[in-house]
Structures are given as C-alpha cells and as structure tokens.
Amino acid sequence: MTSIEAPEPNTPSIFNFTSYPYDAPEYPVNALGPVSGLARSLAEALQVPLALVAQNILGLLSFATQGLANVQTPLTASSPLSLCLVTTVESQPRKRLLQSILSSELILYQKDLQNIQMRTAKEETPSTSTKSNNDTHKSVLGCIFLPREQQISSIFPNIRYYPSTILFNSDNLSQFIAKGGQKYTSSQSSATQHLDDLWSGEDIVQITKSTTEIISNYRCTFNLSASEDQVVELFNIEYHATHALLSKALIAAPEKIIGQRSIKELKPNEIAGLNDFHSRCIELLLQIIPSSEQPSAGPSLRLLKLQRPERGTLIDFMKEIEAHSGPEGFFSKIQAFSENAAEHVCRLAGVLQLYDNPLAETISGEMLNNAMALFSFYAIEAYRIQDLRDKERQLPEELVLLKWLLEKSKKMNGSAISEPFRVRYVRQNTKPQFRNIEKLLEIIKILEAKHYVDYDADKKLISLRVSELPKEM
C-alpha cells in the first residue's frame, strides 16, 4: 500500500489520484504557512497529532477573520470565510479526541447564561422588528472551540441583549437553540432547517449527514444579527477577555486519560509564538468594528480577489478534480466534498492570507498553494473515512458492535483485555443504531451466542472474550 502525501507549498499539482487505496497521509504542516511554527510547537508541547492542533488553529482563524472579508472563487462568485474548514471528514474517534484534548467539553453558554438569554426575550431589549430587511446587518461569526469555563459573552459583552442572536450548545444541538428569544427543545427539524437556511448553499463536507448532525457534538456556532445602528455596541470586543479565550481555546487540557497517558496541561506563556498569535487574532477581531466616522455603516466585508495567475492555477486544480470525479474516479465516493472544492480552497486560502496580512486585498499564489495542499490532505482523509464507513455498512450489526467494543477497550486500556462494559455506558456512547435498549440487548445476545462476549444480565455487564474473537477483528 502506497503512502500518499499532500504536496508541499508552492507545488501547483496535487497528489496522484490513481494510486489509491491510501494510507493515512502525513499532515502538510508547512501548508499552514504563517501558523506552521505555532502548530508544531503546540503539537510537541501537548503531545498530540499535528492534525488536531491544526484544526483548532484554523478554527480560531476562521472565527477571527470571517467578519472582515469574503473570498473570490474562480467563477467570480464570492464565499464567506465562515465554515471554511473541511474538518467534518474527521472520524468520530478523532472528533472525540480533539474535543477532549484541545477544547474540553464543548459548550457555548453555561446554564445560568442560558437562563439570562431566555429572560431577555421578555425584557425591553433592542429589536430589529421595526427594521426592513435592507436595514439589518447579519454576520455569521462562529465556529470556535471553547473550554467549559469560557463564556462567549466575555468577548461580546452585549450579546445577551439581542434576542435575534442564535446560540446553541454543541454537546446536544436539540437541547439549546435560541432564535428570537425562543428555545427549541424538541423541534429538531425546525432547528435543522434554520441552520441550513443560515448557510444557504455553503455546504461543507456532507457525506451522509445534515448540517445539524455535522455541527452537533463538534463545534460551537453562533450567529449575530443586529440592525446597523447596533453594530458598534454589539462588536465591543474586550481585549483581555479575548486574549483569555484564545489561550484557553488553544490549550485547554481537561483531566482526561487518552490511552494510558495523561495529556499535559500547559500555560500559554510556555508556547513559543502563542502571544503573537493572540495579538494578530485580536487585531483581526478589532477590524470588524465600524469606524467612529461612519458608525452606522456596519462591518464592511471586502473581497479578497484572485488575480489572473492564481485564478488560472485554481481552475487547473478544479479540472484535475473533475477528471477524477467519474463513476470509478477518486471523488465519486466523496462527491459532496468535491462539489465545493473551489469554496473550500478559497476559504482556507483566505483565512491564511488575512492572518499573514490583515490588509490584504488579494489571495497570493503562496497561500493558494497552501490551501490546495490542505485540501488534498482532507480529500484523502474524506476518502479513507468514507471507505471505512462503506465497508462497515457491509458488516453484520453484531460485528459492528463488537468492533466498537474492541476499539473502545484498546483506547481505554491499551489492549483488548478490559474491565467489563456497563450496558448503560455502551448505550450512551456507541453508534446511533444501538442506542435503543431492546435493539442493543438483542445484538448482545447474538454476540454471546457466538461466544464473542459474556453477558451478566443481573449486573448488566458485557465482557469481551478475547480468545474467541474473529480473526478480522
């Protein structure tokens, strides 16, 4: 099996699509350009994979830049920098690892702040109801990893006074979604529809999931909506709180055990380059605030343009993707990914460009090549993960559950030999098709009949019989 790597920056071609199946590619850290050094430092200090650190850095850059500019695509259309990442191709175990190591448990508002949000709907608050649609400025400002103790209100102190703001807890999307002061509790379809409308046409990697399912359990997202004369007050960013958020969002290390080792908890001043990263992100955030001379103009989104050479390079890149999108081609398995390739590349290039030069008006060739290298990495990841999903769908359900138990045991204990699993734990943490207790017990009985597990019905405990496991496990 050949290992395929995404190209280094300044290499206009992409990986060889004809050489799959693929091993996991090495993360193209050089393609992170101005933040590549920080990514290396963080990965080494935290002792976690570069890909996980890079995802978090890029997430924060998306948060810091998307209120500043849109980015031009090859066909002259523009795309917002929001949701620029293609991180949804991450496998579920890696999602949970990222969530545990780098962001603690994702949460947007603590319970008391949720109550405040609900109360403000009943109070006399600024309202956009008397404004026409043309008088309302809307800005999607959010994909950010937050540690448990961090509150987004410390960054935007006046956010709670705007009942049109949409906030939700990424731990459980249906649990808390607020729009116009209303709380969705069971209307999951309404919430899904609203989020799909919010990013109309901006599909990120949707292999088999809806927008709601992609965002749920992964990232905190929020939308700010305010009339033009409210924007200055709304974007009153507090410097020290923002600095603290950036530090915690990058370095938060909860008391979790990954495998047999503890994740080292670090202080921000122990990471070379972190203060520079903070300063630049805050500089970008502060640019969102309208000038005092024209406070009612709202944030002005400039267009990061593609010059003729870069546009030609990206068109050639897209032609190569199209050439491998036929029925037997590489991208046939991940069409949702390839259909939005130009937007993915341009958004990645845009956030890197603005970090490198906050006053940039165009996308440089270097940043475009960096973005194509990152896209190439995620394309292989998307293919590999979808391929695993396809193979898993062909397995009998009892083997799917057995595989999950075995992988969980190895992660928790470093070997297949583990303490018994409680049925309740399995039900809460396993794949969705086994969340129904009757279905789960039925599958457990099948595994027991095949001597793969022992089941104690009185204590509700499941034990793996390692010596009896099938060879393919």
What pLDDT score does 361 carry?
Answer: 93
What pLDDT score does 202 carry?
Answer: 29
**Tell me: the pLDDT tens digits for 237-289?**
444 444 444 444 454 422 222 333 444 555 656 777 777 887 787 777 667 54
Fold assignment, 397-468: Arc Repressor Mutant, subunit A (1.10.10)
pTM for this entry: 0.57
What pLDDT score does 372 carry?
Answer: 92
What pLDDT score does 120 carry?
Answer: 34
More confident call, 16 vs 219:
16
The two tokens of residue 194 are 């609203």
Portion of the chain with pLDDT greater than 70, in percent:
44
Residues of the chain with CATH 1.10.10: 397-468
What pLDDT score does 39 carry?
Answer: 87
Q: Which residue, among 400, 439, 442, 407, has the nearest Cα to 421 in the 3D structure?
A: 407
The model's confidence at residue 219, banded by pLDDT at 50, 70 and 90, is: very low
**Tell me: the pLDDT tens digits for 161-205?**
443 333 333 333 322 233 333 333 333 344 344 333 333 222 222
Cα 316 from Cα 14, distance rounded (Å): 10
Q: Is residue 166 a contact partner of residue 222, using CB atoms and an 8 Å limit?
A: yes
To the nearest whole number, what is the mean pLDDT of the chain?
61
Assess whether pLDDT exceeds 60 at residue 77. yes
What pLDDT score does 6 carry?
Answer: 37
**Tell me: the pLDDT tens digits for 8-64?**
433 334 445 544 445 567 889 999 999 999 889 877 876 767 776 777 677 677 767
What pLDDT score does 82 carry?
Answer: 55
The model's confidence at residue 387, banded by pLDDT at 50, 70 and 90, is: confident
**Tell me: the pLDDT tens digits for 396-455?**
888 888 888 887 887 666 555 667 888 988 888 787 778 888 999 999 999 999 888 999
